[in-house]
Amino acid sequence: MDLSVNLSGLHLDNPIVPASGTFGFGREFAEYYDINILGSFSFKGTTKEARFGNPTPRIAECGASGMINAVGLQNPGIDAVINRELPELKKIFHKPVIANISGFSIEEYAYCCERIDKEEQVGIIEVNVSCPNVRHGGMSFGTSPEAAAEVTRAVKAVTTKPVYIKLSPNVTDIVAIAKACEEAGADGICLINTMLGMRIDIARRRPVIANVMGGFSGPSIFPVAVRMVHQVSKACNIPVMGCGGVSSARDVIEMMMAGATAVQIGAMNLKNPYICKEIIEDLPRVMEELKIERLSDIIGIV
């Protein structure tokens, strides 16, 4: 069984990639298992300045369907990531990592991406133009083809490594935005980020999170993610990393058949810290059951 895939020239032993914001900088999960079994992982979304994030409560479960969060891009800032987090990560993770970058202006995106591009450990830069949790932040860039393309061009002008643009599902035409990013020079697309949702605590008569609305994620959004991955992979000629509601090896294979070259696992990491390990271990069994010799053979077969 061959689980390996090639992501913009980066060899991954398998397509499993924990999603940004659900895996920190790897240290917490390294206490549970050897994280080097992962294909790679996308580290916590990083901005120019340190951010404390939104007021609490900022995460809540929504029954079996998933969870809602409005963390607000809490992170230590680009300087701390380069000077502290990456050297610590190098001690426990011996593969190229995916750097997730967010920003509040074109200049901030370009500044952070240019800085992180110089780091040897970084294999791919993932640019988040889709976070729905920060007021006046990434979402405004990701909801317009022109704005998404502008971010893409600015980042590509100052980087040498593959750049993947992470898109929001909270739009009317995901294909138009993805194609605009491709035409602006993106090396790949990651989708989907969380959907915008809200829940109310009916006993307390107030929203369950302080931010009122937040990112809805978990198994319930999987069909939306599969649909968007399929649409974008058919319309674009660059690789897609699929993300959204993935919770099993069978989900991974379904996402790859829809067109994903690699598959990110998000919300389930927060529910079960062993989920990525379990999926990697289960993939050969499911591949055998479905008579799949190489995972790379099924990418986009539907």
Helix, strand or coil for residue 301? coil
Residue 61 lies in a domain: no
Tell me the pLDDT band of 135, cut-offs 50, 70 and 90.
Answer: very low
Q: Please report, for residues 18, 45, 222, the alpha-carbon distance to residue 268 in angstroms, rounded to integers and kept in the order given.
A: 9, 18, 12
Tens of pLDDT, residue by residue over 195-230, are: 999 999 999 999 999 999 999 999 999 999 999 999
Give the pair of three-digit tokens for residue 36: 């080097």
Its domain, for residue 99, covers 5-51+73-192+221-298
**Does some domain include residue 62?**
no
Neighbouring-strand partners of residue 2: 294
Residue 228 contacts residue 169 (beta carbons within 8 Å): yes
pLDDT of residue 65: 82
Q: At what angle do helices 145-156 and 106-117 cross, to 10 degrees?
A: 40
Residue 200 lies in a domain: no
Residues whose CB is less than 8 angstroms from the CB of residue 235 and which lie 6 or more positions away in sequence, other chains included: 175, 178, 179
Domain with residue 89: its CATH number is 3.20.20.70
Q: Hey, which residues are catalytic here?
A: 131
Residue 66 belongs to some domain of the structure:
no
Which residues on adjacent β-strands are paired with residue 262? 241
The end-to-end CA distance of the chain, in Å, is: 21
Phi-psi region of 201 (alpha: psi -120 to 50; beta: other; left: phi over 0): beta
- H-type helices in the chain, by residue range? 27-30, 78-80, 86-92, 106-117, 138-142, 145-156, 174-183, 222-235, 249-258, 267-271, 275-289
The pLDDT value recorded for residue 104 is 87
pLDDT at 64: 80
> Residue 239 phi/psi, 5° resolution?
-65, 155
The candidate with the shortest Cα–Cα distance to 229, out of 25, 66, 15, is 15
78 CA to centre of own chain: 18
Decide if 68 is inside a domain: no
Residues 7, 19: Cα–Cα separation, whole Å: 15
In the prediction, which pLDDT does 130 show?
75
Give me the pLDDT at residue 132, please. 44
Does residue 170 lie in a domain region? Answer: yes
Check residue 131 and give its pLDDT: 57
pLDDT, mean of residues 109-115 = 97
% pLDDT > 70, the chain: 97
Collapsed DSSP state (helix, strand, coil) of residue 224: helix
Q: Based on the structure, what is the number of domains in the chain?
A: 1
Residues 6 or more apart in contact with residue 135 via CB below 8 angstroms:
none
Question: Would 198 be classed as within a structural domain?
Answer: no
What pLDDT sits at residue 63?
A: 81
- Averaged pLDDT, 71-85: 96
**Could you tell me what percent of the chain has a pLDDT over 90?**
92
Whether 225 is in a domain gets the answer: yes
Residue 57, exposed/middle/buried by CB under 10 A (0-12, 13-18, 19+)? middle
Whether the CB-CB separation of 224 and 230 falls below 8 Å is answered with no
